């Protein structure tokens, strides 16, 4: 299960381990056996879990949600 969330400033990325700043979006991935992985936008883009699409000349971030 994947779910897009918005950081309240106390979230750490499970991959690059940086703190995800307040109001930045991140992705929650629930893996098997209830393991929760949180990924910052950069890591999502790197892993192909998110992409930017252009909409009315603005870049809009979209998460791939299952």
Residue selected from 11, 27, 40, 50 as contacting Zn ion according to rule CB under 5 A: 40
Q: How far apart are CA 52 and CA 59, in angstroms?
A: 6
CB atoms within 10 A of CB 36: 10
Residue selected from 26, 43, 49, 63 as contacting Zn ion according to rule CB under 5 A: 43
Residue selected from 15, 37, 38, 45 as contacting Zn ion according to rule CB under 5 A: 15
Could you say whether residue 20 binds Zn ion (CB under 5 A)?
A: no
Least separation in angstroms between residue 45's CB and Zn ion is: 10
Q: Where do we find the tokens 């949600």? A: 65
Q: How far apart are CA 16 and CA 31, in angstroms?
A: 18
């Amino acid at each position: 299960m994947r779910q897009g969330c918005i950081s309240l400033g106390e979230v750490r990325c499970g991959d690059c381990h940086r703190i995800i700043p307040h109001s930045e979006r991140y992705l929650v991935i629930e893996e098997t056996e209830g393991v929760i992985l949180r990924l910052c936008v950069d890591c999502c883009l790197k892993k192909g879990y998110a992409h930017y699409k252009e909409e009315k000349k603005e870049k809009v971030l979209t998460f791939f949600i299952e």
